[in-house]
A and B are shown apart, each in its own frame.
Chain A
Amino acid sequence: MRTRRFPVGKSFASFILLALAALTVFPFVWMVLTSLREQNTIFGGPFIPAHFTFAAYPKAWESTQFALHFANSLWITAATVAGVVVFASLAGYAFAKLKFPFKNALYVMLLATLMMPSTSLIIPLYLQLRSFGLLNSQVGLLVVYVSSSAPFAMFLMRAFFASLPDELIEAARIDGAGEFTVFWRVVVPLARPGMATVIIFQFLGTWNEFIYANTILQDSGKLPLQPVLFLLVGQYTTDWPTLTAGLTMSIVPVVIVYVWMQRQFVAGMTLGAVKS
């Protein structure tokens, strides 16, 4: 028999992956270590600090009003993700599986969202929000986030739905299901990996967004977390311990969402494989 396993076997692949993982995570190791350093010892000291101190964490919590802005981020991000998942799934399915006139033209038009640099849209968007009275409001920011992110998510969902077999849908229709029922009962349950992907990406993207939040919201109390953390990055000096402590804390929910979705992801994928 001539079939051979991977040359040098899985151990070679594992080695490469571990090395890659170590390199990848290194800046974050630095970031967490820096949050434990004493003020004014960031440079010129050893990599592992001589003295550890957690003082930066309460300082970050207090001075940035972490709790308030964390709550802002949480609600805005959760609402954005919900909106995006719903709208993108509906539209993605429609573009993937339904036939209607002008479908391709509409699809390409929606993709135009991905083609403009976001910085060039700041002022036009600002003026548009003013026309709707949505300036300086978190709901306005939410609307902007959903509008500008849903097309990308739709792009992903459409690709995902397109890979589902038409027969599934045809069969459901033959059994008398209406279009929405087909969508809701037949297609959506199969879409878990796709939706999990969208949830992860969207949560990340919205959680980390900075410039629109900074510009659209005027009252500091309404700001989400990112713009507030970046107040610590000044023109001439950066408060590294406090900043890294704040960033470390801000990553926690993202990691939670990621790990949670990963399980959905894997579960969804194995489900799909088993079904076939």
Chain B
Amino acid sequence: MHSTGGQSPFGSALSRVQLDRRTLIRVGAAGLGAATTASLLAACSTGSSSASGGKATVRIWSWYSDMKDTLPKVLADFEAKHPNIKVENRIFGSPDQYLPALTAAVSSGDVPEIFAPHVRANTYGEQGISADLSKDLGGDFLKDFFPAQNMVDQSNGKQYWVAWEAQTFGIFYNPDIFKLAKIDGEPETWDDLIEAAHKVNAIGKSAVGFASNPGTSALDFFLPLVTQVTDDPTYFLKLDYLTKGYKWTNQPIVDALKLNDKIVKAKVFQPNTNGTSGDQVNQLFYTGGSAMLFSGSWMPNTLVQSAPPEFVKKYKIMKTPAIKSGARHWTADQAGAGWAVSETSKNKEAALELLKYLYTPDVYAKLMNSSYAMPATKSAADQIADPNVKLMASWLPDGCPHIPFGPGSSAAGDPLQKIFDQTATPSRSPRRCRRRC
């Protein structure tokens, strides 16, 4: 590398310094001192965010980004009415950004006062992390909500969370493509849908866009199938909680899997469903790549945000097809977005105040309308403004209420995905699902 001659150019310039040890100690002390001072400064300046100047602080965390512009105003109104409560709102972009922060907060024992429980409501509730809201909010308050059995913890009858946005699933469709493919009306049964799919494929487009990625989304499609086969809206719920007698190898489940397989084989979905993510399949729909889209009641908001305005005006929605003509459609109703309250926070009372305020019918309805979201209470549902959201809300009483995330289903996502890419047959899948759950 660098070649040197003999003499150092610094020889004469340096004086004989004998202070080396002291200098070194100074350096070391400086380094340690800096680190310690920083820590002390931080410890002094950071309080825990529970009380600041006599006010109770309520943290509210979620990933409900459809409300990132509208919720802050509502929270500001609440603060104006309750001068002794300070609200700290944090909306993350997606569950992947949110869950590490929530997990970390839980691990340190300092849980936000109000938080979106994702699929962990019951787990946290049973551990005493989230509060039992049937006790804290009372029966009268909860009566206004659309019935959803998944709200109640099956192991002890308590309710650890409340629904914030109800979610029905349906099939969104593009009437222009229907006209091009010469499809009349809306397909009522699965066979009708298969026929319509053939016509759409014939004009070179995908029929129904569906994102079975991650595997748990495959369960979202499977749920109405099971309910339709059994005509029992509690069947999947019991399977999910490993109730005695409800196994993946039961005949109705096998029949539902066979139906699922038949739909996939008929090329109803776009190719590579397992590799398509939620946002990709939405894009496919509003750019005219697919005639239909299997999705939920959060889609109107998504479409307003991202789709061309002409598209927003023209799309329509229909119910999930039924198993035969005249049978109940059993649209899935999932209430995936909800709120839980921290049991251990010292500001729990303030948090409950805020929660009750958020559900006041006028406040709630206005907030939901401004975000094109679907409320979970009957009184707010009466005030829905957007026709598409209103339509989906009208299906709620006819729905099969459940989110498949209990012990009986979350591990079944993977084997179920194999039906979507045809790497497994309906005869093998039940045993696989059963083994994993």
Tell whether any CB of A sits under 8 Å from a CB of B in the complex: yes
Q: Report which A residues bind B (CB closer than 8 A).
A: 40-44, 63, 87, 90, 119, 122-123, 126-127, 130, 132-137, 139-140, 142-143, 163-165, 167-168, 171-172, 174-181, 185-186, 211, 214-216, 218-220, 227, 230-239, 272, 275-276
**Knowing A168-B4, A181-B17 touch, does A218 contact B59 (C-beta < 8 A)?**
yes
Is B423 positioned at the interface, with any CB of A under 8 Å from its CB? no
Q: Report the minimum CB–CB distance from A225 to chain B (whole Å).
A: 14
Report the bound CA distance from A143 to B104 in whole Å: 18
Further contacts, 10 of them, CB under 8 A, given A90-B31, A139-B41: A40-B307, A132-B39, A140-B46, A143-B39, A165-B4, A218-B59, A230-B93, A234-B279, A236-B278, A276-B1
Contact of A235 among B2, B23, B94, B108 (CB under 8 A): B94
Is B360 positioned at the interface, with any CB of A under 8 Å from its CB? no
Q: Are B43 and A236 in contact (CB-based, < 8 A)?
A: no
A-side binding surface: helix, strand, loop or mixed? helix
Q: Are A181 and B23 in contact (CB-based, < 8 A)?
A: yes
Report the bound CA distance from A186 to B13 in whole Å: 12
Residues of B with C-beta under 8 A to A216: 104
Q: Report the minimum CB–CB distance from A72 to chain B (whole Å).
A: 15
Q: Report which B residues bind A (CB closer than 8 A).
A: 1-4, 7-8, 10-12, 14-21, 23-24, 27, 31, 35, 38-39, 41-43, 45-46, 48-49, 59, 63, 65-66, 68-69, 88-95, 97, 100-101, 103-105, 107-108, 110, 278-279, 282-283, 286-288, 298-299, 302, 305-309
Which of B11, B287, B306 has the most chain A CB within a 10 Å cutoff? B306
**Knowing A137-B42, A163-B1, A233-B93 touch, does A215 contact B307 (C-beta < 8 A)?**
no
Across the interface, name the chain A residue whose C-beta is closest to B99: A215
Q: Are A165 and B1 in contact (CB-based, < 8 A)?
A: yes
Q: Are A171 and B46 in contact (CB-based, < 8 A)?
A: no
Q: Are A232 and B93 in contact (CB-based, < 8 A)?
A: yes
Residues of B with C-beta under 8 A to A135: 46, 108, 110
Contact of A172 among B8, B91, B309 (CB under 8 A): B8
**Knowing A123-B103, A211-B100, A232-B93 touch, does A179 contact B309 (C-beta < 8 A)?**
no
Contact of A126 among B46, B49, B104 (CB under 8 A): B104
Residues of A with C-beta under 8 A to B89: 220
Contact of A186 among B2, B10, B88, B287 (CB under 8 A): B10
Report the bound CA distance from A108 to B413 in whole Å: 43
Residues of A with C-beta under 8 A to B27: 90, 180
A-B contact pairs, 19 of them (CB 8 A): A123-B104, A132-B42, A136-B46, A136-B48, A140-B42, A143-B39, A172-B8, A177-B17, A178-B24, A179-B24, A180-B23, A185-B10, A211-B100, A215-B104, A218-B90, A233-B93, A234-B65, A272-B2, A276-B3
**Knowing A134-B39, A139-B41, A219-B88 touch, does A43 contact B14 (C-beta < 8 A)?**
no
Q: Are B3 and A168 in contact (CB-based, < 8 A)?
A: no
Contact of B10 among A140, A172, A211 (CB under 8 A): A172
Residues of A with C-beta under 8 A to B91: 231
Contact of B95 among A43, A127, A235 (CB under 8 A): A235
**Knowing A40-B309, A177-B14 touch, does A231 contact B92 (C-beta < 8 A)?**
yes
Q: Report the minimum CB–CB distance from A219 to chain B (whole Å).
A: 7
Leading 5 A-B pairs by shortest Cβ distance: A178-B20, A171-B8, A133-B43, A176-B16, A139-B42
Q: Are B94 and A171 in contact (CB-based, < 8 A)?
A: no
Report the bound CA distance from A177 to B7 in whole Å: 15
Residues of B with C-beta under 8 A to A272: 2
Report the bound CA distance from A220 to B61 in whole Å: 11
Residues of B with C-beta under 8 A to A275: 2
Residues of B with C-beta under 8 A to A238: 279, 306
Q: Are B24 and A44 in contact (CB-based, < 8 A)?
A: no
Across the interface, name the chain A residue whose C-beta is closest to B27: A180
Q: Are A178 and B17 in contact (CB-based, < 8 A)?
A: yes
Q: Report the minimum CB–CB distance from A260 to chain B (whole Å).
A: 25
Which of B8, B16, B35, B288 has the most chain A CB within a 10 Å cutoff? B8
Q: Report the minimum CB–CB distance from A194 to chain B (whole Å).
A: 12
Residues of B with C-beta under 8 A to A211: 100
Report the bound CA distance from A186 to B17 in whole Å: 15
Report the bound CA distance from A186 to B283 in whole Å: 60
Contact of B14 among A134, A175, A179, A235 (CB under 8 A): A175
Residues of B with C-beta under 8 A to A220: 88-90
Residues of B with C-beta under 8 A to A218: 49, 59, 88, 90, 101, 105
Across the interface, name the chain B residue whose C-beta is closest to A232: B93
Across the interface, name the chain A residue whose C-beta is closest to B44: A133
Q: Are B107 and A123 in contact (CB-based, < 8 A)?
A: yes
Q: Report the minimum CB–CB distance from B66 to chain A (whole Å).
A: 8
Residues of A with C-beta under 8 A to B7: 171
Report the bound CA distance from A214 to B63 in whole Å: 13
Residues of A with C-beta under 8 A to B4: 165, 167-168, 276
Report the bound CA distance from A126 to B298 in whole Å: 34
Report the bound CA distance from A135 to B101 in whole Å: 12
Q: Are A237 and B305 in contact (CB-based, < 8 A)?
A: yes
Q: Are B306 and A227 in contact (CB-based, < 8 A)?
A: no
Q: Are A137 and B93 in contact (CB-based, < 8 A)?
A: no
Residues of A with C-beta under 8 A to B302: 236-237
Q: Are B108 and A233 in contact (CB-based, < 8 A)?
A: no
**Knowing A181-B17, A185-B10 touch, does A142 contact B305 (C-beta < 8 A)?**
no
Contact of B38 among A42, A142, A276 (CB under 8 A): A142
**Knowing A139-B42, A230-B97 touch, does A127 contact B14 (C-beta < 8 A)?**
no
Q: Are B108 and A130 in contact (CB-based, < 8 A)?
A: yes
Q: Report the minimum CB–CB distance from B420 to chain A (whole Å).
A: 20
Q: Are B94 and A234 in contact (CB-based, < 8 A)?
A: yes
